[in-house]
């Protein structure tokens, strides 16, 4: 039992490191070759965890081999546009100038209902509002609305806006985020002083955020 437990921990740490090395894509944004490698790694990892008779290296070596393949294919994708099209495919326009391309839907095994569902995910309720809908190589759909359906921006109204600034977490679950304080060139005393305006001490705060506009968002922990 202890042997199985220890093998599981080793394989888990290895797979975690390999997946981190593969990058930070979400599952829905993976290219086909990345998804295949992820599935194969999952299968390779399961066997040595439970089969004590199989040396653990028989699981580790193939997983590292999958990581090597991922690196090679990623380099090929970067270096060659032609190979990138072969490995990952090309984006396909499903709605072109407001018209649904039936041939494109058939080639991609897409139904009208699936197209409508993907549009709703993009906060588009009416197909008639769409100028272009593009099926990306990751499986995501990019939507370009018709010009008269696009949201109004400050630029359209000739309104000058301040530059958008990033928000910084100052405290998460009672712990001070020292790296962010360093970026802000602030210290612990400053955080405590600002948090005191909310009648709180750092260990009592569930979250304390400095928003981009200079305001704060703060919430107290239910249990300190």
C-alpha 44/C-alpha 60 separation (Å) is: 8
pLDDT of residue 17: 83
The DSSP bridge partners found for residue 172 are 175, 207
Residue 78's pLDDT band (cuts 50, 70, 90) = confident
3-class secondary structure, 203: helix
Domain-located, residue 154: no
pLDDT of residue 202: 93
Give pLDDT tens digits for 91-132.
999 999 999 999 999 988 888 889 999 999 999 988 999 999
Indicate if 76 and 99 belong to the same structural domain.
no
Give pLDDT tens digits for 138-157.
788 999 999 888 887 777 77
Residue 11 in contact with residue 3, Cβ under 8 Å? no
pLDDT of residue 161: 72
CB-based contacts of 10: which residues, under 8 Å, 6+ apart?
56, 60
Q: What is the CATH number for 145?
A: 3.30.240.20
pLDDT of residue 162: 73
Mean pLDDT score of the chain = 85
Domain-located, residue 187: yes
pLDDT of residue 7: 78
Q: What average pLDDT does the segment 151-177 reach?
A: 84
Give pLDDT tens digits for 6-48.
878 888 888 878 877 776 655 556 677 777 788 888 888 877 7
Measured over the CA atoms of residue 10, residue 14, residue 15 and residue 17, the dihedral's sign is: positive
Indicate if 123 and 177 belong to the same structural domain.
no
Domain-located, residue 26: yes
Q: What average pLDDT does the segment 62-76 reach?
A: 86
Residue 67's pLDDT band (cuts 50, 70, 90) = confident
pTM of the model: 0.65
Indicate if 80 and 21 belong to the same structural domain.
yes
pLDDT of residue 1: 66
Whether the per-residue pLDDT at 164 is higher than 90: the answer is: no
Domain-located, residue 160: no
Domain count, the chain: 3
Domain-located, residue 215: yes
Query: What domain range includes position 205?
Result: 168-220
pLDDT of residue 212: 86
């Amino acid at each position: 039992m202890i042997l199985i437990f220890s093998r599981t921990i080793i394989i888990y740490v290895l797979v975690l490191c390999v997946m981190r090395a593969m990058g930070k894509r979400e599952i829905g944004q993976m290219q086909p070759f990345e998804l295949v490698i992820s599935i194969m790694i999952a299968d390779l990892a399961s066997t040595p965890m439970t089969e004590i008779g199989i040396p653990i290296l028989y699981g580790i070596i193939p997983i590292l081999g999958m990581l090597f393949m991922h690196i090679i294919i990623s380099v090929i994708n970067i270096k060659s546009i032609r190979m990138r099209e072969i490995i990952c495919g090309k984006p396909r326009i499903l709605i072109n100038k407001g018209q649904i391309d039936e041939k494109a839907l058939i080639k991609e095994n897409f139904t009208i209902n699936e197209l409508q569902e993907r549009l709703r995910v993009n906060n588009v309720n009416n197909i008639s509002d769409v100028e272009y809908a593009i099926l990306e190589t990751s499986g995501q759909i990019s939507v370009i609305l018709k010009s008269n359906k696009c949201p109004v921006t400050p630029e359209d109204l000739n309104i000058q806006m301040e530059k958008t600034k990033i928000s910084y977490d100052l405290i998460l679950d009672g712990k001070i985020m020292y790296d962010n304080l360093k970026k802000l060139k602030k210290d612990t005393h400053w955080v405590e002083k600002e948090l005191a305006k909310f009648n709180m001490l750092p260990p009592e705060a569930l979250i304390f955020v400095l928003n981009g506009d200079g305001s704060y968002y703060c919430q107290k922990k239910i249990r300190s």
